[in-house]
Amino acid sequence: MESTRRLVIAAARGVVVLALAAASDFLIGSFWGSHAMLTSLITSLLVLAVTVVVLNEVLDRRDRRRWSVLAQHVLFQLVQCARATWMGLVELVDGHDIETGSSEGLLAGARLALDTTAFSAATRTMLADADRRRVLQELLVALAAHSRGVVASWAAVMVGAGPYAEVFDRHVELQGRLDWISDILAHNEPNEERTFVHRKLVRSSLAAGHVAILEPDWIRDQVVSTAQLAVRLDYDSRVLGSKLVPYEEWQKRIHTFVAEPPTLSG
């Protein structure tokens, strides 16, 4: 429905532009009449511009329809990464497990992350505890590794699918934040249980070059903003993914397969 509305708007704008061009003939007809070459050039450019706008919208609409099932699958994997991020941070900061069996339980946990004042204060308390900082470091390393795997697996597909490139870019930002914060923590408080390669990579990361100039509350602000970004990506991407192939469409497909099972040969 949204893509149809965009197509109608694009076509309507084109019609308006052409109508204005036609109306100008009555107002300054003498000018156009005495400049035939310029008139022809401007008319051709207007028609070309309108054609390009409408054609681009038609192609985007076709791409969204063609990639709908795959895009939904990828978006839901990215949603899982985002949800694991904010849930893990909220549970560590708040000290209580989030109820995952209902949308109300998830929403209550999300509201904790979005309450900037309270969540910032609780994060500061958590960071003052050395044991909980170590847990945070382990959590971020695990989240970054999982998110990196999903992003790397689908980058080529999603970047090439124009309609979904923007939302994919926001998930890449989240993954980059996880890498950055985990490298900062690992550099400040090295974990000897890490492999030699991991320790070397941490020391050579770009984040390591900014350790000396960090403000005291930088880590706190990064944790809070990352959790809030993850909440927004969770809910926004889930809504977008659900629109691509609605639940009713999946139910219709299931009933079709049951009612008309495939015929096997050979």
Is-contact 223 136, C-beta < 8 A? Answer: yes
Residues 6+ apart with CB under 8 A from 221: 120
Q: What is the pLDDT of residue 1?
A: 44
Going by pLDDT thresholds of 50, 70 and 90, the confidence category of residue 51 is low
Tell the residue number behind the tokens 């040969």, with chain if given.
Answer: 265
The Cα–Cα gap between 137 and 202 comes to 12
Q: Distances in Å between the alpha carbon of 79 and those of 5, 12, 73, 209? A: 27, 36, 10, 31
Is-contact 99 105, C-beta < 8 A? Answer: yes
pLDDT digits (tens, 9 = 90+) for 225-264: 999 999 999 999 999 888 887 767 767 767 676 666 666 6
Q: Considering the entire predicted model, what is its pTM? A: 0.69
Tell the residue number behind the tokens 């996880």, with chain if given.
Answer: 178
Going by pLDDT thresholds of 50, 70 and 90, the confidence category of residue 217 is confident
Helix axes 36-66, 68-94, angle to 10 degrees: 70
Q: Distances in Å between the alpha carbon of 54 and those of 4, 47, 68? A: 11, 11, 21
Residues 6+ apart with CB under 8 A from 60: 3, 6, 162, 163
pLDDT digits (tens, 9 = 90+) for 148-192: 999 988 887 776 666 677 888 899 999 999 988 888 888 777 776
Q: By CB neighbour count within 10 A (0-12 exposed, 13-18 middle, 19+ buried), where does 177 fall? A: buried
Is-contact 14 46, C-beta < 8 A? Answer: no
Instruction: Choose between 72 and 204: higher pLDDT.
Output: 72
Is-contact 185 137, C-beta < 8 A? Answer: yes
